């Protein structure tokens, strides 16, 4: 009995290793394939379809910049349905998004797609201790995943707040797994003149953002894959 | 303007100080010093209004009857925009919201950098805009000197931002028709 068990074990182990190695290899290949495909523009079509869009809002200054971008972007009726996400502690940003949507609605002559306003848990509040923030970070990640599974956006627009990082990483993983292909756009805040923010640096270095925009020329020189777009404010 | 401080009857010129939602007692203390107040008076300003936010240092109120600078303060107000509009000079913390709101109103601006902040990336923006002559950038200790050296006429108007380049790139990337 003992012997037989051992034999089974010996037969079993190499195949487990083989399977694990091949799965890891496939996963790595897939990630590299997605990294190569990301950043390539979508082939222009004669009759493009509107894309579901996730807009991540930050606090004060960040939101003002994003609203300025949306004021121009939404002139084309190509970004719908739209999903606005802001931190649960931030009511001002969603209010501003509501105002913007009212304007867009009026401009379109009362024609509008379905727009949703959502709040997301923040992984860490200002001044929160690091030990409790492990728990809250986990909670925030689960909540972000739940939101992303529901939304499955085709376009992600963000400009800096920390909450955009998990959402962008999940959007990227959706591409890897094949759940949803999306284009991720990141606009670095105007307040960043010489150095990227931590969120920006992560999304740039990990190549998660398909297109990365900066508002100052000296930042573009430092991060050559970024596009310089001038000041939004 | 010259020696506006000499004339008994003069037009109201308000200096508005704002710390936004931050705690920045060093700035409130700095504008409450005799040196800064004298300098403002000498430059022809008549009133000093301080929005002190969450700070605990209360400046000394003054009605300015005796020809000195009239000083008033409050913690928060929903009508910061009105205060900015009625000001002849704005002294602000380095938050991008306050900076651009003031610049877009075309008001002369001195940004005071809070050195107590851990992540002091905010000074980047103020320094860059100061280099481009859209505002003056100071520290609490140097505010007095900045006011005495400044010439608000030499500041350049800030051209308002434009989101069309970024929108164009996004539309092109997604293969949307360009028009």
Show pLDDT as tens, one digit a residue, over chain B (179 residues): 444 444 445 789 999 999 988 899 999 999 999 999 999 999 999 999 999 999 999 999 999 888 899 999 999 988 899 999 999 999 999 999 899 999 999 999 999 999 887 666 778 999 999 999 999 999 999 999 999 999 999 999 999 999 999 999 999 999 998 76
Residues A63 and A28 in one domain: no
Residue A82 included in any domain: yes
Residues A16 and A60 in one domain: no
Residue A85 included in any domain: yes
Q: Is it the case that residue A161 has pLDDT exceeding 80?
A: no
CA–CA separation, A39 and A185 (whole Å): 10
Residues A30 and A122 in one domain: no
Q: Is it the case that residue A124 has pLDDT exceeding 80?
A: no
Residue A44 included in any domain: no
pLDDT for B4: 44
Domains of chain B, first to last: 4-173 (3.40.50.2000)
Number of Cβ pairs closer than 8 Å across A and B?
A: 98
Do B162 and A231 lie within an 8 Å CB cutoff? yes
Tokens 């994003």 correspond to what residue?
A66
Do A42 and B173 lie within an 8 Å CB cutoff? yes
Vertex B96 angle, CA B94 and B99, to 5°: 70
Q: Is it the case that residue A6 has pLDDT exceeding 70?
A: no
pLDDT for B174: 95
Tell me how many domains chain A contains: 2
Residues A30 and A62 in one domain: no
Considering chain A, what is the average pLDDT of its residues? 88
Q: Is the minimum CB–CB distance between B175 and chain A shorter than 8 Å?
A: yes
Residue A48 included in any domain: no
Mean pLDDT of A165-175: 94
Residues A33 and A78 in one domain: no
Residues A173 and A65 in one domain: yes
Domain range enclosing A206: 53-228
Residues A33 and A62 in one domain: no
pLDDT digits (tens, 9 = 90+) for A210-226: 999 999 999 999 999 99
Residue count of chain A: 233
Do B128 and A193 lie within an 8 Å CB cutoff? yes
Residue A42 included in any domain: no
Residues A12 and A81 in one domain: no
Torsion from C-alpha of B172, B174, B177, B179, nearest 10 degrees: -50
CA–CA separation, A73 and A100 (whole Å): 12
pLDDT for B102: 97
Residues A180 and A74 in one domain: yes
CATH assignment of the domain containing A112: 3.40.50.2000
Nearest C-alpha of chain A: how many angstroms from B143? 22
Residues A126 and A172 in one domain: yes
Residue A178: both structure tokens together: 């094949």
Smallest Cβ–Cβ distance between B163 and the set A68, A155, A191 belongs to: A68
Do A48 and B177 lie within an 8 Å CB cutoff? yes
Residues A69 and A162 in one domain: yes
Residues A85 and A169 in one domain: yes
pLDDT for A58: 82
Locate the chain A residue with the closest alpha carbon to B122: A191
Residue A149 included in any domain: yes
Q: Of A35 and A129, which is predicted with more confidence?
A: A35
Residue A113 included in any domain: yes
Locate the chain B residue with the closest alpha carbon to A73: B167
pLDDT digits (tens, 9 = 90+) for B48-100: 999 999 999 999 999 988 889 999 999 998 889 999 999 999 999 999 989 99
Whether A100 and A37 have beta carbons less than 8 Å apart is answered as no
Locate the chain A residue with the closest alpha carbon to B158: A233
Listed in sequence order, the residues at least 6 apart from B150 whose beta carbon sits closer than 8 Å to its beta carbon are B43, B108, B110, B136
pLDDT for A137: 81
Q: Is the minimum CB–CB distance between A139 and chain B shorter than 8 Å?
A: no
pLDDT digits (tens, 9 = 90+) for A131-150: 787 888 888 889 999 999 99
**Cα B42 from chain centroid (whole Å):** 18
Smallest Cβ–Cβ distance between B161 and the set A195, A211, A233 belongs to: A233
Smallest Cβ–Cβ distance between A229 and the set B121, B166, B172 belongs to: B166
């Amino acid at each position: 009995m003992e012997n037989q068990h051992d034999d089974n074990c010996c037969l079993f182990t190499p195949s487990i290793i083989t399977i694990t190695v091949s799965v890891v290899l496939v996963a790595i290949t897939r990630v590299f394939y997605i990294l190569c495909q990301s950043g390539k523009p979508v082939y222009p079509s004669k009759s493009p379809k509107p894309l579901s869009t996730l807009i991540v809002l930050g606090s004060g200054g960040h939101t003002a910049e994003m609203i300025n971008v949306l004021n121009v972007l939404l002139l084309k009726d190509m970004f719908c349905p739209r999903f606005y996400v802001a931190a649960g502690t931030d009511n001002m940003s969603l209010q501003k998004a509501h105002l913007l949507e009212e304007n867009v609605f009026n401009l379109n002559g009362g024609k509008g797609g379905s727009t949703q306003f959502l709040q997301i848990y923040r992984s860490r509040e200002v001044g929160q201790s690091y030990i409790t923030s492990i728990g809250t970070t986990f909670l925030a990640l689960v909540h972000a995943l739940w939101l992303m599974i529901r939304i499955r956006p085709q376009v992600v627009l963000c400009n800096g707040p920390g909450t955009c990082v998990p959402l962008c990483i999940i959007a990227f993983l959706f591409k890897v797994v094949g759940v949803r292909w999306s284009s991720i756009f990141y606009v670095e805040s105007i307040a960043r003149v010489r150095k990227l923010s931590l969120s920006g640096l992560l999304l740039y270095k990990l190549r998660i953002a398909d297109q990365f925009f900066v508002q100052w020329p000296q930042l573009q020189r430092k991060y050559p894959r970024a596009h310089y777009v001038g000041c939004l404010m | 303007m010259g020696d506006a401080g000499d004339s008994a009857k003069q037009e109201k010129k308000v200096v508005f100080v704002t710390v936004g939602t931050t705690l920045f007692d060093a700035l409130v203390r700095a504008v409450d010093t005799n040196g800064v107040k004298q300098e403002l008076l000498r430059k022809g300003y008549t009133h000093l209004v301080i929005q002190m936010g969450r700070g605990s240092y209360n400046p000394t109120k003054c009605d300015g009857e005796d020809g000195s600078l009239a000083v008033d303060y409050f913690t928060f107000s929903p009508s910061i925009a009105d205060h900015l509009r009625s000001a002849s000079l704005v002294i602000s913390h380095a938050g991008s919201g306050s900076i651009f709101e003031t610049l877009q109103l075309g008001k002369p601006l001195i940004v005071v950098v809070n050195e107590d902040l851990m992540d002091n990336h905010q000074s980047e923006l103020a320094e860059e805009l100061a280099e481009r002559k859209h505002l003056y950038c100071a520290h609490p200790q140097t505010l007095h000197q900045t006011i005495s050296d400044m010439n608000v006429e030499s500041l350049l108007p800030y051209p308002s931002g434009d989101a069309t380049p970024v929108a164009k790139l996004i539309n092109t990337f997604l293969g949307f028709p360009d028009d």
